[in-house]
Amino acid sequence: MAHAYTPGLKVTTGTTIRKERRLPLNGEILVQLGEHVKAETVVAKAELPGNVQLVNVANHLSITPQDIHSYMLKQQGEHIAKDEIIASTKGIFGLFKSQSRAPTDGIIESISEITGQIAIREKPIPVEINAYVDGKVVEILSAEGVVVETYATFIQGIFGIGGEVIGELTIAVQGPDDILTANLIDQKFSDKIIVGGSKVTSDALKKAVSSGLKGIIVGGIDDSDVRDFLGYELGVAITGSERLGITLIITEGFGRIRMANQTFELLKQRAGLKTSINGATQIRAGVVRPEIVIPLEKPTSVEAIDEKISYMDIGTSVRIIREPYFGKLGWVTDLPVELQSLETEAKVRVLEVELEDGQKVILPRANVEIIEV
């Protein structure tokens, strides 16, 4: 029987996963190998060099650049405070002095006799990374970070906005068909991650932010609501760096799309548990998917699971990831071996998919992804 390899979208009841927590530069590791950590635990920290500000002392004092050292009150390597006088002329009888003041706290990094400028390095910027998930430290990455292992329910979405957040999982709708509207959101969901049904509106997103929610997981969203919430048109760049006060995970696609029953029921079973989500998404090369991680007590018989190659076969559940059937679910009914011509005249391998409404469609194999359950 024919089969094919394709990327998979995971909806996993329980699996052992590893999360690499890495600093942007070398720093200090704050945990030990084998230590059990909470998601909120800071596992490593570092200090980014502060910004540099240039001060044109020669211009302030109306002197030539090569004479700058004669007028400096502070020297290279000295700490200075904002508005502190760093250079001054003697004036006439002590009056009518010209002065140059520091625009910020920092350290004088250099004094130039060529330009007449000094460079002030601002205070270092602290950077900390947390564990992101409850788990165990299984590897120390030198001075760069750690690897945290956890046994968890793991679900990948199709699109997301916002970065990593941690909160209690709560169901906000009755079923996977329901629309998550603003009237369903209030202060009782503060600091929580809520699950909607087939769609979330921009008004609901805005109310969620004002109500202090951490995140929303829902089946679909209109692209116009994404644009309204973001305040700009979303391009093809990776998402996840937005600072909107909430993280959004879309599990199915754009428009009103019923959340897959298996996904909704699994989330419903996990209601009340601490959950970590990340909306970072990149659709093109180097695919990054939004994710939902719900740590569980690990059964003693379960071993760590490595990534497996995903194969399609007749009956495999798939999601279509390109128009005109974007976001629709179905299962494979045929995998022809022969190449077939598309409207573009390109010849590709295709497959036949039966959609949930019974319609059968022929698609390029690259237009679908496996739903790994």
Structure tokens at 260: 């897959």
Q: Find the CATH number of the domain harbouring 345.
A: 2.30.30.30
What mean pLDDT is reported for the chain? Answer: 88
Structure tokens at 268: 């419903």
46 is a domain residue: no
Q: Give the whole-angstrom CA distance, residue 34 versus residue 16.
A: 16
Q: Scanning the structure block, which residue is given the tokens 């194969």?
A: 311
Q: What's the whole-number mean pLDDT along residues 99-109?
A: 95
Q: What's the whole-number mean pLDDT along residues 154-167?
A: 94
Q: What is the pLDDT of residue 285?
A: 59
> Secondary structure of the chain: what % helix, strand, coil (to 5)?
15, 45, 45
pLDDT beyond 50 at 36? yes
| pLDDT (tens digit per residue) in 222-251 | 989 999 998 888 766 688 888 899 999 999
Q: What's the whole-number mean pLDDT along residues 184-212?
A: 96
Bridge partners (DSSP) of residue 153 are 294
According to DSSP H, which parts of 241-347 are helical?
261-269
Q: Assess whether 93 and 180 both reside in one domain.
A: no
Q: Find the CATH number of the domain harbouring 66.
A: 2.40.50
Residue (of 160, 133, 132) closest to 217 by Cα position? 160
Q: Give the percent of the chain with pLDDT over 90.
A: 64
| pLDDT (tens digit per residue) in 5-21 | 445 578 889 999 999 99
pLDDT beyond 80 at 3? no
Q: What is the pLDDT of residue 59?
A: 94
| pLDDT (tens digit per residue) in 108-120 | 999 999 999 999 9
Whole domain around residue 110: which residue ranges? 52-121
Which of 259, 289, 319 corresponds to the end of one domain? 289
17 is a domain residue: no
Residue (of 237, 227, 251) closest to 176 by Cα position? 251
Task: Count CB-CB contacts under 10 A for residue 51.
Answer: 12
**Which CA distances in Å does 129 have to 199, 249, 275, 342?**
32, 22, 17, 48
Q: Give the whole-angstrom CA distance, residue 74 versus residue 85.
A: 8
